[in-house]
Amino acid sequence: MDPVRHDFLKIVFLSSGQGFLVYPKGERLHADKGNLLVIPPDCEHCLEDGPNTPTNLYVLSIRREVFEVAALDPALLPDGVLQLTAQEVVNTEKAVRRLLFEQSLEGPQAGARVVSMTLRLLTQLMDLNNEPAYGRMDGNTAPHAARSDPSRPARTPSSIARMRAYVQDLDQHFFEATNLDDAATRLGISRRRFTQLFRQVTGSSWLAHIRRLRIAHARRLLVQTTRTVLSIAFECGFEDLSTFYRAFKREVGSSPNQWRTDHSR
- The pLDDT tens digits of the residues spanning 191-236 come to 999 999 999 999 999 999 999 999 999 999 999 999 999 999 999 9
More confident site: 160 or 10: 10
Question: 95-126 burial string, b = 16+ CB within 10 Å, else e?
Answer: bbbbbbbbeeeeeeeeeebbbebbbebbebbb
CATH code of the region 157-265 = 1.10.10.60
Residue 1 and residue 19 in contact, taking contact as beta carbons nearer than 8 Å: no
Per-residue confidence (pLDDT) for residue 143, from 0 to 100? 32
CATH 2.60.120.280 segments of the chain? 9-130
Q: Tell me: pLDDT of 44 over 70.
A: yes
Strands 18-22 and 46-49: antiparallel
When the pLDDT of each residue in the chain is averaged and rounded to a whole number, the result is 82
User: What is the per-residue pLDDT across 113-158, written as a single tens digit (0 to 9) for each?
Assistant: 888 888 888 887 877 665 433 333 444 333 333 333 334 333 345 6
Percent of the chain clearing pLDDT 70 (strictly above): 88
Where exactly does CATH 1.10.10.60 map onto the chain?
157-265
Q: Which residues pair with 59 in a beta bridge?
A: 12
Distance in angstroms (rounded) separating the CA atoms of residues 248 and 177 = 18
**Crossing angle for the helix pair 241-252 and 206-224, to the nearest 10 degrees:** 90
DSSP tag of 76: G
CB atoms within 10 A of CB 63: 13
Percent of the chain clearing pLDDT 90 (strictly above): 27
Does pLDDT of 72 surpass 60? yes
Q: What is the CATH number of domain 9-130?
A: 2.60.120.280
Strand 18-22, strand 28-32: pairing: antiparallel
